[in-house]
Chain A
């Protein structure tokens, strides 16, 4: 259970990187969790080279492919070959990503008040940018543009934080 809880965010990241909409991600993450649980007795943590995250990502990969196959052409996503490569990169990069996640909190504190407020509204309010735009009496495209800018600022700040550690 501890393993399961600890890797939820990582699994979500992998699936999010493969599929376009949060709803798709939720769906595949749920299916992945069910499979992980069903097959958990097949995972041997003591086996040489055994790594829960790699094993779970492998399952997420299969579930994503299965979901992609089921939805057919309606679902836009990466190709299976690139999915495989991204999965390998994710496993390799996970320690760095963890440090970046830690740095995010610091960088959020450095945002201008308006930017911080916008991020909080959009991410805390179930990510519904249209609602936020309506409440702020702004166009949705304008809010999206602001969010992109703020995410890039945060990305740069995180780069600096991690490089300075």
Chain B
């Protein structure tokens, strides 16, 4: 078969172009199937065209790599850690398609070392093997380190005199890995995990700002210094970009974070997740489809619309999900789509509290007196006053926008506050509202950290006595919160028109009799000593389990904000 004229391609060529460009549809393949079936000439033509495409990629990527190595050599730097100028992935994205193939070869070679027990290779000491099932390694690190990485045996002389080691087997230093810019630790490691410079990682190895590749059956837990963890399931390509920043290029991770100021950022194709005090799963499959599920807390996602070019800002709360199809089609509000992350969930996840709708953005409304989703509003005492409403709800963005008096402070998370009212009648009767949410089971010997932002309207009256309480309660789903574990009265008092954030901790002791019972957060408005109405605004509630180090780092004094809308 001859090639058709470039300006007038045959049907077969058109279909082959679609295959090469990754745009072939079911109908295209069906037609291609018909054209190829039993026609060896057409099959040959098809293979030649596809092979040309493959060889082009192979050849040109190889040339680019060779050029980059040549430039590095000319600059006196070793050949490892070569990065392409890839605007999309940044300087640490060294695992492109070519490197992926090379890395794969390295992984297989590395597997060979394990499997065949070559006698010429020194037997690693038990310490080398690690106790997490990590790879056994018996190679000597002879290459220069990745920029920003130092090894005891790396020297400029060695770099200059040693020819570049073919990337056929991952290298690993004999001793512990030492790097200057460690931001995390490989807390668990199973299977083959390699860096961009083909270094195989073991359990407890430090991790810097670098790319990681996990083979198909590999598992890893990357623990960041701020307490965030990334549980990773191979096959996955991942880049650690900073102490609070990672990028998932392909594969599956579950991110658990603590209340780090500024949160943790996870980039993925088509979306960026900003996450604080939450647990989130992100999966990017082979077709480029991204699926995310939130297990705990609430996250912000900036979703890039691939066609319109406008970034959408999405808030995902507990049990919420997001799906971005390879064609850019975005689906939000997906419920119960978290099954694929089952193998990656923290074993202690059932202990971790999970707050839904912590920013009170659901439902998005300008009407007051709508309960925020996930929270139960109550009026106290029930029906004590004729015509009394449950005086609580959410204050929406629209209401705040028309608040000409400018009395509503800006909510710290999203566009809505929850509000609770309390009233003292002239005749001495009292009424107030509360809200609560069941957030999980009470665990023993853990420290809970609870934080929230409290706001007040600018025209709020001078306070007489307490305004609100925040408590952790035990109870049951049937009966609601029953017994207070700890209650904080006015843990922070914002100025009129301002907002303040309070952080509190509560230690649930070993052998607590409440272990396994339901844990509740209860927030309550408190009526004043004098007649009148008062209102407290609540936003950005966070609750998680922290270790002692985190508790020590928690802010000792509440932060106060007072920007008015």
Contact = CB atoms under 8 A, between A and B. Distances in A.
A101 B57 CA distance: 12
Interface string A71-86: 1011111110110011
Contacts of B49: 151, 155
A154 B60 CA distance: 14
Nearest to A156: B3
A70 to B, nearest CB: 10
Contact of B88 (A13, A100, A128): A128
A146 to B, nearest CB: 10
Contacts of B43: 85-86, 89
Given A21-B288, A127-B97, A101 B55 contact: yes
B59 interface: yes
Given A82-B36, A124-B60, A9 B6 contact: no
B37 interface: yes
A78 B36 contact: yes
A78 B33 contact: yes
A104 B105 contact: no
A136 interface: no
A30 interface: yes
A17 B235 contact: no
Nearest to B105: A5
Contacts of B61: 123-124
Given A21-B22, A86-B47, A79 B101 contact: no
Interface in A74-112: 74-79, 81-82, 85-86, 89-90, 93, 97, 100-101, 104-105, 108
A131 interface: yes
A123 B51 contact: no
A55 interface: no
A76 B29 contact: yes
B286 A27 contact: yes
A124 B38 CA distance: 36
Contacts of B181: none
A148 B3 CA distance: 12
Contact of A81 (B37, B55, B108): B37
A76 B25 contact: yes
Nearest to B89: A126
B47 A89 contact: yes
Interface residues of B, number: 70
A29 interface: yes
Interface in B191-229: 215-217
Nearest to A148: B17
A82 B37 contact: yes
Contacts of B55: 9, 100-101, 104
Contact of B112 (A1, A71, A82): A1
B250 A23 contact: yes
Given A86-B36, A126-B96, A155-B3, A100 B51 contact: yes
Interface in A5-56: 5, 8-9, 12-13, 16-17, 20-24, 26-27, 29-31, 33-34, 37
Given A13-B47, A104-B52, A152 B86 contact: no
B550 interface: no
B57 A127 contact: yes
A98 to B, nearest CB: 10
Interface in B60-118: 60-61, 63-64, 84, 86-88, 96-97, 100-101, 104-105, 108-109, 111-112, 115
A144 B21 contact: yes
- Chain A contact-residue range equals 35 or more
Contacts of B21: 129, 144
A72 to B, nearest CB: 12
Given A29-B104, A78-B33, A34 B287 contact: no
Interface string B1-12: 011101101000
A4 interface: yes
A123 B56 contact: yes
Contacts of A5: 105, 168
Interface in B6-32: 6-7, 9, 13, 17, 19-26, 28-29, 32
Contact of A33 (B37, B97, B108): B108
B488 interface: no
A13 to B, nearest CB: 5
A20 B3 contact: no
A158 interface: yes
B302 to A, nearest CB: 19
Nearest to B60: A123
Contacts of A34: 108, 215-217
A103 B106 CA distance: 29
The 9 closest A-B pairs by CB, nearest first: A27-B286, A123-B60, A21-B22, A89-B43, A152-B6, A23-B286, A124-B64, A76-B26, A76-B29
14 contacts: A9-B54, A21-B287, A23-B250, A23-B286, A33-B104, A78-B36, A81-B37, A86-B36, A89-B44, A105-B59, A124-B84, A152-B4, A152-B13, A159-B3
Interface of A: 1, 4-5, 8-9, 12-13, 16-17, 20-24, 26-27, 29-31, 33-34, 37, 71, 73-79, 81-82, 85-86, 89-90, 93, 97, 100-101, 104-105, 108, 119-120, 123-129, 131, 144, 148-149, 151-156, 158-159
Given A22-B97, A125-B84, 20 more contacts: A1-B112, A16-B54, A23-B285, A23-B286, A26-B97, A26-B100, A31-B216, A34-B108, A34-B217, A37-B115, A76-B26, A78-B29, A78-B36, A85-B40, A89-B40, A126-B96, A148-B6, A154-B56, A155-B48, A159-B2
